């Protein structure tokens, strides 16, 4: 806090000062970045020019952008749901719940706390002259590139966008070309609602992404596969650009012998087969002992029938695979183990039945690569010790899930495995809590975001230290007792 009469440095940098949250962004004179076909270099240059003017730093600009983004979502629900159904076969209720309303809740959280989160944070410092005062000021990084995936093309484009705007950045959004209807809709709606000088959309495929990554950004936020994440990180390294990478899951589920299997199967099925399994947080495979595996098989079949009926192909709540290429990749994984249920599909409509595979060997292809589809392999282990060894012998997952009533088992899984998160009793639920950082580790990602953690991801914590003119130099000017005549001043005179 500043003493009375001083001007807070954070106000000049754009910390909130109780702005009017009903205001709406009005485009000002200048080059409007509303054409997603513009050359990536020209788009990035124009967005950087807007950031350089300081227009994105004030608190009222940030709040206007978040409010306008909320209005975009709330006012275009039908169009957004239609686009998501066209791209992925998502039912309307699911599209609105996990894409539109999910982002609205995040925006509401940011708007409700932005005033507090952007205030300077006093820090007590040692080793400085008496009377010194220090604060940490959150300042925007600059121009942020958001590269969004196809599986949740609205949610995973707009969640990081909201965080970057809340932190006062200018943003370039690259939607996924594999969700063309959603991409085109975002390219049309975002420039209409947000500041067209500081927020741009660039559509295109891999070539466009490469051209964007060749430009200098101040942060790159990428959601997608681990293999492409490596490409993004290499490109960002050319400019020493920091990255947030939300990558593959391959998240295991340990089912203990004391788990209530009916309850377990219901939650497993819903978490695994929503969006036809095309979610990074979906359970990827199950580890359990042989007797539990046999008993779990029947419960999984019953849970699937309760959720999708006797023929999931006709169920309104069951989605489709995004492309024939991904369909072909998934059907190539079906040969492992014994098929308990599913295993059929229709390439023309990109329908792949919810599939459970039993007695799957640990070295099968479906156990080596992330499934990212409606195929759930079950691999047998002797017990907890072997499950922990199995998990630790592979790349670090986005999450470790477990169904167990044993407190010792819970403590061991939390302490003896490394992952982005550990969740007991309900897979994938961690994404519903914006208070928790969401992110991976190692091959599953680097960095985290959501809520306050988005502010941290898209801001620089700048120390501001104030040393009074008349302060005594203190201990910093004194040499150690054993230094003899070798006196080196702490600060240049």
Burial class from Cβ neighbours inside 10 Å (0-12, 13-18, 19+) for residue 425 reads: middle
What is the C-alpha to C-alpha distance for residues 70 and 83, in angstroms, rounded to an integer? 18
Query: What tokens appear for 472 in the block?
Result: 């005594």
Percentages helix, strand, coil for the chain (3-state, rounded to 5) are: 40, 15, 40
DSSP string, 91-124: -HHHHIIIIIHHHHHHHHHHHHHHHHHTS-EEE-
What is the C-alpha to C-alpha distance for residues 314 and 352, in angstroms, rounded to an integer? 12
What is the C-alpha to C-alpha distance for residues 193 and 189, in angstroms, rounded to an integer? 6
Nearest to 461 by CA among 137, 118, 219, 16: 137
Residue 58: DSSP 8-state: S
Residue 438: DSSP 8-state: B
Distances (CA, A) of 380 to 281, 383, 397, 418: 22, 9, 19, 21
Contact 448, 457 (CB under 8 A): yes
Among the listed residues 215, 280, 370, 380, the single catalytic one is 280
List all residues 6 or more positions away from 423 whose beta carbon is below 8 Å from its beta carbon. Answer: 399, 400, 401, 402, 429, 430
CB neighbours of residue 17 within 10 Å: 13
How far separated are the first and last CA of the chain, in Å rounded? 30
Contact 104, 74 (CB under 8 A): yes
Long-range contacts of 349-354 (CB under 8 A, 24+ apart): 349/320, 350/89, 350/320, 350/321, 350/322, 350/323, 350/324, 351/313, 351/320, 351/321, 352/276, 352/321, 352/327, 353/312, 353/313, 354/269, 354/272, 354/273, 354/277, 354/304, 354/308, 354/312, 354/318
Query: Is 280 a catalytic site residue?
Result: yes
Cα dihedral value 64, 65, 66, 71, nearest 10: 90
Query: Is 128 a catalytic site residue?
Result: no
CA angle 483, 484, 488 (to 5 degrees): 55
CA angle 369, 375, 376 (to 5 degrees): 90
List all residues 6 or more positions away from 383 whose beta carbon is below 8 Å from its beta carbon. Answer: 289
Among the listed residues 94, 215, 246, 299, the single catalytic one is 246
CB neighbours of residue 34 within 10 Å: 17
- Return the active site residues: 246, 280
């Amino acid at each position: 806090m500043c003493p009375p009469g001083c001007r807070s440095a954070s106000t000049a940098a754009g910390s909130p000062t109780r702005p009017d949250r009903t205001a709406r962004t009005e485009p000002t004179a200048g080059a409007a970045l509303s054409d997603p076909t513009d050359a990536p270099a020209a788009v990035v240059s124009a967005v950087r020019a807007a950031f350089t003017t300081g227009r994105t730093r004030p608190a009222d600009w940030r709040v206007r952008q978040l409010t306008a983004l909320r209005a975009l979502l709330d006012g275009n629900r039908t169009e957004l749901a239609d686009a998501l159904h066209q791209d992925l076969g998502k039912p309307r209720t699911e599209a609105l719940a996990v894409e539109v309303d999910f982002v609205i809740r995040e925006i509401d959280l940011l708007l409700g706390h932005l005033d507090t989160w952007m205030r300077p944070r006093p820090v007590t410092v040692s080793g400085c002259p008496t009377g010194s005062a220090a604060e940490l000021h959150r300042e925007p990084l600059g121009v942020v590139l958001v590269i969004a995936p196809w599986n949740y093309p609205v949610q995973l484009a707009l969640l990081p966008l909201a965080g970057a705007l809340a932190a006062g950045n200018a943003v370039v959004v690259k939607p996924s070309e594999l969700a063309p209807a959603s991409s085109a809709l975002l390219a049309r709606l975002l420039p209409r609602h947000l500041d067209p000088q500081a927020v741009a959309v660039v559509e295109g495929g891999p070539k466009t992404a490469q051209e964007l990554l060749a430009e200098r950004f101040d942060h790159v936020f990428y959601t997608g596969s681990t293999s492409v994440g490596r490409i993004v990180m290499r490109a960002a390294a050319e400019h020493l650009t920091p990255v947030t990478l939300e990558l593959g899951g391959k998240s295991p589920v340990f089912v203990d012998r004391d788990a209530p299997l009916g309850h377990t199967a219901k939650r497993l099925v819903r978490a695994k087969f929503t969006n036809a399994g095309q979610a990074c947080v979906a359970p990827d495979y199950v580890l359990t002992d042989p007797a539990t595996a046999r008993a779990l098989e029947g419960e999984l079949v019953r849970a699937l029938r309760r959720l999708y009926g006797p023929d999931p192909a006709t169920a309104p709540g069951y989605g489709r695979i995004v492309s024939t290429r991904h369909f072909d990749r998934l059907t190539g994984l079906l040969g492992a183990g014994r098929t308990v249920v599913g295993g059929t599909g229709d390439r023309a409509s990109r329908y792949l039945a919810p599939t459970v595979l039993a007695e799957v060997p640990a070295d099968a292809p479906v156990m080596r690569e992330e499934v990212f589809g409606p195929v759930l392999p079950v691999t047998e282990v002797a017990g907890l010790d072997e499950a922990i060894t199995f998990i630790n012998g592979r790349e670090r997952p986005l999450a470790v899930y477990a169904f167990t009533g044993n407190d010792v088992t819970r403590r061991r899984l939390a302490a003896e495995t490394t992952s982005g998160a550990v969740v007991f009793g309900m897979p994938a639920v961690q994404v519903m809590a914006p208070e928790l950082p969401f992110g991976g580790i190692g091959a599953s990602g680097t960095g985290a975001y959501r809520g306050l953690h988005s502010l941290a991801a898209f801001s620089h914590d700048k120390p501001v230290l104030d040393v009074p003119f008349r302060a005594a130099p203190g201990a910093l000017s004194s040499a150690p007792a054993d230094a003899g005549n070798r006196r080196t001043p702490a600060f240049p005179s």
